Amino acid sequence: MKDIGTESCSGCLNISCKKRLYPKREPLSRRALLQGLPALLIPAAGFIAGYILPGILVSGATEALQAACGMAALFVPAGALYILHKK
């Protein structure tokens, strides 16, 4: 059997394996947390705005309409962020 080396080891957690690799755990940095913050806050802000604005703009807006607008406003910014990060 050919020796595949540790660089191709996927860390199978086999107890008898002599090439067990343990992932290095690094503490979260402030920069990493700040990078992930827009991905969480922008869609949440979109939902809140989408839920509140129909109640203000349309006098007879029901909660179902507000929830539907909130869900649409949740996914539009999330999709835009996804497209921007893919480029």
Taking the CA atoms of 12, 14, 17 and 18 in sequence, report the sign of the dihedral they define. positive
3-state SS track over the chain: CCCCCCCCCCCCCCCCCCCCCCCCCCCCCHHHHHHHHHHHHHHHHHHHHHHHHHHHHCCCCCHHHHHHHHHHHHHHHHHHHHHHHHC
Q: pLDDT of 23-72, one tens digit each?
A: 566 677 788 788 888 888 888 999 999 999 999 998 888 999 999 999 99
Quick one: average pLDDT of 65-87? 88
